[in-house]
Each structure stands twice: as structure tokens, then as C-alpha cells.
Homo-oligomer: A and B are copies of this chain.
Amino acid sequence: MPKKGIEPLRRQQLIDATFQVIHEIGLADATVATIARKAGLSTGIVAHYFGDKAGLLNAAMRQILSQLKDAFAQHRGQAAADPRSQLRALVDANFDPSQTSGPAMRVWLTFWAASMHQPELARLQRINDQRLYSNLAYQFHRSLPAEPAREAARGLAALIDGLWLRGSLVGGQIDGDNARHIAYAYIDFQLQANAL
């Protein structure tokens, strides 16, 4: 009789190992053997649970994006309903310590770069981008006309991504407070400059 409930555990072990390995040595040097060894498992297990290496990377990216999505939902639920609070919550979700410390930013950028030439990853990426942009544009539009709202959303999205991007280069962690402060200021500037 096979072990019950082992599959989700194994999958998570392998995905976690993938994050660690990408963080430590990069995707280019991340072999199936490296990842499996980091997870304390054998190489064959990757095929067993993910089909092949691409399947594992795909699952890993899905999880990254899923975590971001969850962080959004959580922060927005705790915030007040007014646009400014909601926009700040969206910023907070991105610069939550759970996201900005450790491997998150490096893995995120790694998958972003990889998605430039892998349609399936690009698809996941675009879905995520679209969601962030839509949320931002919607909240800005509650206080601004349509076009300024869209431009504010584009600007804030770029600002957030740019702050993450720069965090990926330094080995350590981003200064979340500082990043948040910069983004908050941008929100207020947009809300005031183009207020209805």
C-alpha cells in the first residue's frame, strides 16, 4: 500500500529546493541533480512528480506568483477601503518582509528573465502583471480620471518592479521601509497632482 499524502510534501520539498538552488547558484547552474540533492531526494524523483525539469520550474514559478497573489489578498483585506489605503496595501504586499528577504527577489527576476523565451512562463507572468495593473488602475480611477489613472498605474507598477529589480542585484535584502516610503510618496503625488 502506497504512502498517503506524500505527494504534496515531496512536491513542496522539490520546489523549495529549487528556490534555494536558484538563489544560491542561479538557474543556469541549477541541475536536476543539484536540486534533488538539496531536497535530500534522488534525481529520478523529479520525473516522477513533475515529468521533467521544465515541469518543476513551471511549478516553482506558479508558486512564486501564487504567494504574491496571497500576499495581496491578505494585505488588502486588512486595509481600509479608501483608494489611498488600498494602494498602500498593494505596495505593502510587495514589500512585505516575507517577500523582500531571502531568495524571493532573485528567483522572481530569474523567472522574469527566463520568461522572455519560454511561452508558458511568459503566460503566467502576463497573467500576474495584468492583475497588479488592473488593481492599481482600478484604485487610482476611484480618485482620478481614466487616462491619468492608467498612467499612474503604469508608473507605480514600474516603480515597484524597479525597486524589486534593484533588490535582486544586492545579495542581501532590500530596504523594505525605504522602498515602501518611495512608493507611498508616488501614490500621494499621483492622487494629488491629478485629483478630480
Chain A interface mostly: helix
A131 CB within 8 Å of chain B: no
Interface size on A, as a range, is 35 or more
- Residues of A that sit less than 8 Å from B by CB: 25-29, 106, 109-110, 112-117, 122, 125-126, 129, 151, 154-155, 157-163, 165-166, 168-169, 178, 181-182, 185-186, 189, 193
Given known contacts A28-B28, A122-B169, A166-B161, is B155 in contact with A185 (CB within 8 Å)? yes
| Interchain Cβ contacts under 8 Å between A and B, 13 examples | A25-B117, A26-B114, A26-B117, A109-B116, A110-B113, A112-B165, A112-B168, A116-B168, A151-B182, A158-B182, A159-B159, A161-B166, A186-B189
A54 CB to nearest B CB, Å: 12
* Copies of this chain, whole number: 4
Which residues of the partner chain B approach A166 to less than 8 Å between Cβ atoms? 129, 157-158, 161
State whether A165 touches B168 (Cβ < 8 A).
no
State whether B116 touches A169 (Cβ < 8 A).
yes
CA distance A125 to B171 in the complex (A): 13
CA distance A105 to B114 in the complex (A): 14
CA distance A181 to B26 in the complex (A): 35
Which residues of the partner chain B approach A189 to less than 8 Å between Cβ atoms? 186, 189, 193
CA distance A110 to B28 in the complex (A): 12
State whether B193 touches A185 (Cβ < 8 A).
yes
A184 CB to nearest B CB, Å: 11
CA distance A151 to B120 in the complex (A): 37
Given known contacts A155-B159, A162-B165, is B110 in contact with A106 (CB within 8 Å)? no
Which residues of the partner chain B approach A168 to less than 8 Å between Cβ atoms? 112-113, 116
Closest residue of chain B to A109 (Cβ to Cβ) is B113
Closest residue of chain B to A25 (Cβ to Cβ) is B117
